[in-house]
Copies of this chain bind each other. A is one copy, B any other.
Amino acid sequence: MSLFHARQMDAADPLRRFREAFVAEAGGPIYLDGNSLGRLPRKALGLAEDLVQRQWGERLIRGWNDGWMALPARLGAKLAKLIGADADEVLVCDSTSVNLFKLATAAVAAQAPRRGIVTDRRNFPSDAYVLQACGDLTIADDAVAAADGGTAVVALTQTCFRTAAVYPLEETTRRVQATGAWMLWDLSHSVGAFAVDLHASGAEMAVGCTYKYCNGGPGAPAFLYVRRDLQERLLSPIPGWLGHADPFAFSLEYKPAAGIQRFLAGTPAVLSMACMEPGLDLLLEAGMGAVEAKSRRLCDYLIAEADRQLSEFGVTVASPREAAWRGSHVSLRHPEAWRLTQSLINDYAVIPDFRAPDLIRFGVAPLYNSFEDVCEAVGRLRLALRTKSYERYDAARLAVT
């Protein structure tokens, strides 16, 4: 009955046609780890071939004038539409860590003598590592409450990678700004998962990655956002040649480019960067309103099925039950989460991921995940719990984000 119901919902899904826009291995696993690495858009296949064979192989150095040089701004303009920003406020470049370093360092310099950076304990550890190098870092339970007159910037990840709990963008930003601090959002688990409106929030800065819900490809370059009115006040701590006012004048003196462009550093990784475009285009075509609506329905359904089928085995829902407070994954808690994840992957052809110490994380990518995916995943997890199939796995852990 469950599966019949799931298929009915899939048939009524207004985004169902987007599923065909992605490559899926015939007979391959149910993929619920799009919050770590999104699926391959079909169009990226042909694009990658053209990029390598024709653009690199034949156009060679001319590729830079053909379009490579414009990639950071052109893709930034597309990404801007997904996060409620203007085209000239977003760049695609470097990694999330490097971009966070650039913006947090620039914010601390601009906010002198304030030197404090506050983040919370639920942030990506990777963000905390970078932030401790950019100012005097405080890691608090309640970052907003911990901000004070010495705080230059509050840096938070909007959607918690463990539980999918989200900060309300506008309210949090307003409370942070009331302390005189700037707000720097990491949107890595938000962008492409639900509608984000940076302009409405008034936030000063944001960063995020493109290889999760944006389906940009493994290690695809990240993005950065700087509110337009601040761009001319800030300097990148890594003043690279592409952030120069006139990169081809070859002057030895650094002169920052006008606007957001000054936050570029070195030469972009063209193959990785260009291949992200089909993923962005699919989100723009679907519209973030529709993406968010489907994300909520899928996650609500996952939670309802987990309650119904898994609670008798001691599985609890670690993610917020209220859709408005949740991103696009659902984390289920169980003491055997690690071994259950191994069994799902190896015995049941379901790929979620594991987060220590006791979470199984099911990422829901609205463009390609179906209600049937969710139904099957919960059903197979129930089977793993009932048969104790996980007991043959070693409890020693090794996981990849």
* B33 and A250 contacting across the interface, CB-CB below 8 Å: no
* A266 and B95 contacting across the interface, CB-CB below 8 Å: yes
A324 on the B face (CB < 8 A): no
A187 on the B face (CB < 8 A): no
A61 CB contact (under 8 Å) in B37, B94, B220 = B37
Quick one: given A45-B52, A239-B130, A272-B271, are A351 and B254 in contact (CB under 8 Å)? no
* A240 and B129 contacting across the interface, CB-CB below 8 Å: yes
* A57 and B33 contacting across the interface, CB-CB below 8 Å: no
A351 CB contact (under 8 Å) in B36, B60, B125 = B60
Of residues 18 through 35 on chain A, the ones whose CB sits less than 8 Å from some CB of chain B are 23, 25, 28, 31, 33
A128 on the B face (CB < 8 A): yes
Listed stretches A64-72, A299-307, A371-379; interface member = A64-72
* B48 and A248 contacting across the interface, CB-CB below 8 Å: no
Residues from chain B with a CB closer than 8 A to the CB of A133 are 237-239
> What is the distance, in angstroms, from A373's C-beta to the closest C-beta of chain B?
14
What is the interface size of chain A, counting residues whose CB is below 8 A from a CB of the partner?
Answer: 86
* A37 and B60 contacting across the interface, CB-CB below 8 Å: yes
* B265 and A98 contacting across the interface, CB-CB below 8 Å: yes
Complex formed: what's the CA distance from A271 to B124 in Å?
24
* B219 and A269 contacting across the interface, CB-CB below 8 Å: yes
A241 on the B face (CB < 8 A): yes
Complex formed: what's the CA distance from A94 to B271 in Å?
14
Residues from chain B with a CB closer than 8 A to the CB of A349 are none
* B266 and A94 contacting across the interface, CB-CB below 8 Å: yes
Complex formed: what's the CA distance from A209 to B267 in Å?
10
A353 on the B face (CB < 8 A): yes
* B266 and A97 contacting across the interface, CB-CB below 8 Å: yes
Residues from chain B with a CB closer than 8 A to the CB of A64 are 37, 218, 400-401
> What is the distance, in angstroms, from A368's C-beta to the closest C-beta of chain B?
11
Residues from chain B with a CB closer than 8 A to the CB of A247 are 401
A221 CB contact (under 8 Å) in B96, B269, B353 = B269
* A56 and B217 contacting across the interface, CB-CB below 8 Å: yes
Q: Given A39-B57, A219-B267, A269-B272, 18 other A-B contacts at CB below 8 A? A: A23-B58, A25-B58, A40-B53, A48-B48, A48-B49, A49-B49, A65-B400, A68-B218, A68-B219, A94-B94, A94-B266, A97-B240, A98-B98, A128-B252, A132-B254, A220-B269, A248-B399, A248-B401
Offer 24 A-B interface pairs, CB within 8 angstroms, sorted by A: A23-B53, A28-B58, A36-B61, A39-B60, A40-B52, A48-B52, A56-B218, A61-B353, A68-B219, A69-B400, A97-B266, A98-B238, A98-B266, A101-B237, A101-B265, A124-B241, A125-B241, A128-B252, A217-B270, A219-B270, A219-B271, A247-B401, A250-B356, A269-B271
